[in-house]
């Protein structure tokens, strides 16, 4: 039995689009994920969220795309709107424009951020560095523009799913999951540094991220 899929994995998604698994946008290279060339378009990613990932059939809650600067990110966001996507958060500088109370985070943990809900029900997250010395910029320098910051997997039982991914060599970045009123999340990293997020949404249809959710990811990265 596959322990990653939600009890009703199609809940919140376009039923026709989830009728079968799709081509993954990723190349798996000894534990590291990279986007395939030509697989970062809105059309491809919106229809490709029921995929095989490291040998597991999963439902992707959200993909993350990295951009070299805010201007390039904004241009891509315009393409999303033309594809009938709904911008749910941003664009803006995180945490300043979203969560000003998160003022204890290191400066290099800030980023330019936007999230969009696709017609299929899947979420796209767009990130760009605010300055050349920020953490996201260093990912570009190390792995190139097709690097996968992280991929979030929608699960029903986060502890059962955690056991599956730990057997694949993914180590939790916190002792327990991080929870807020709308979702429960747990970040894992493998031997290459690749991060996956297990996410359980309590209220499907609330396709958004809280201050605690994003801060949890950034702090987990810095602590690893």
In three-state secondary structure terms, 44 is helix
In three-state secondary structure terms, 215 is helix
Instruction: Give this prediction's pTM.
Output: 0.81
Instruction: Give dist(CA 132, CA 176) in Å, integer.
Output: 33
Q: What is the mean pLDDT of the chain?
A: 81
pLDDT: which is higher, 223 or 73: 73
pLDDT at 6: 46
Q: Which residues 6+ apart lie within 8 Å of 159 measured at CB?
A: none
Q: Which DSSP category does 55 fall into?
A: T
Instruction: Say whether the peptide bond before residue 132 is cis (omega within 30 degrees of 0).
Output: no
Find residue 87's DSSP bridge partners.
Answer: 116
| pLDDT tens digits along 83-141 | 889 998 888 887 777 777 656 566 666 788 899 998 888 899 999 987 777 777 777 77
DSSP symbols for 82-132? HTT-EEEEEEEEETTTT-TT-TTS-GGG-EEEEEEE-TTS-EEEEEE-SST
Q: Identify the top-confidence range among 4-13, 29-38, 93-102.
A: 29-38
CATH entry 2.130.10.10 includes domain 26-223:
no
Instruction: Give dist(CA 223, CA 106) in Å, integer.
Output: 12
What Rg, from alpha-carbon coordinates, does the chain have? 16
123-128 and 56-66 beta bridge pairing: parallel
């Amino acid at each position: 039995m596959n322990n990653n899929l939600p009890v009703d994995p199609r809940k919140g998604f376009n039923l026709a689009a989830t009728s079968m698994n799709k081509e993954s946008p990723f190349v798996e290279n000894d534990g590291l994920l990279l986007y395939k060339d030509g697989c970062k378009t809105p059309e491809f990613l919106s229809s490709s969220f029921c995929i095989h990932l490291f040998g597991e059939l999963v439902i992707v809650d959200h993909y993350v795309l990295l951009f070299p600067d805010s201007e390039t990110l904004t241009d891509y966001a315009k393409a999303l709107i033309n594809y009938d996507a709904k911008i749910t958060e941003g664009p803006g500088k995180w945490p300043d424009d979203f969560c000003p109370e998160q003022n204890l985070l290191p400066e290099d943990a800030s980023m330019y951020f936007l999230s969009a809900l696709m017609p299929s029900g899947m979420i796209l997250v767009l990130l760009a560095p605010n300055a050349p010395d920020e953490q996201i910029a260093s990912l570009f320098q190390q792995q190139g523009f097709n690097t996968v910051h992280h991929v979030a997997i929608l699960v029903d039982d986060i502890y059962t799913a955690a056991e599956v991914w730990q057997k694949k060599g993914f180590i939790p970045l916190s002792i327990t999951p991080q929870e807020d009123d709308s979702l429960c999340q747990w970040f894992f990293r493998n031997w290459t540094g690749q991060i996956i997020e297990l996410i359980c949404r309590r209220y499907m249809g609330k396709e958004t991220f809280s201050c605690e959710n994003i801060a949890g990811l950034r702090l987990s990265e810095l602590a690893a």
